[in-house]
Amino acid sequence: MSTKPLSQKLWMRPNYRVLITGGPEGYLESLGKLPNGVKVSEFLDGEYDLIQVFVTTRRDLERVLPLMKKHLGPKGLLWLSYPKGTSRVSTDINRDTIRAYATTVGLTAVGLVSIDDTWSALRLKA
């Protein structure tokens, strides 16, 4: 397991405006020390440098992904977090189904990180 802080694995940079939505309880604390000036919101309002959204179903994926894309800044990072196949979270999505759907809304999968034993995150770009 990587010793990098989670905020670093997610490419958070100083002064980023960050949206994190749908995360498990205590998730914000698990990010570790944030870079200077990072502002984290849990409410959708405006444009963001980094968005991380947690989904467990295809229905949620189809509902949130186009919306999150609209709120992503020009060089923004979009992390779509989903339950690992080995987790005990009930899900009907995986890396491959997310990649396939993302292309239909103009996004391409370009990276993957492990969040913890339950969650993975796929980095998407326009």
**CA atoms within a 13 Å half-sphere pointing along the CA-CB vector of 16:** 25
CA 94, CA 109: separation in Å to the nearest integer?
13
Q: Using alpha carbons, list the distances in angstroms from residue 54 to 14, 15, 20, 60.
A: 23, 23, 8, 9
Mean pLDDT of 7-32: 96
Q: Give pLDDT tens digits for 67-101.
A: 999 999 999 999 999 999 999 999 999 999 999 99
Q: Where are the domains of the chain?
A: 6-125
Supply the mean pLDDT for the chain.
Answer: 96
Mean pLDDT of 117-122: 97
Confidence band for 3, pLDDT divided at 50, 70 and 90: confident
Q: Assign domain 6-125 to its CATH superfamily.
A: Vaccinia Virus protein VP39 (3.40.50.150)
Percent of all residues in the chain with a pLDDT value above 90, rounded to a whole number = 94
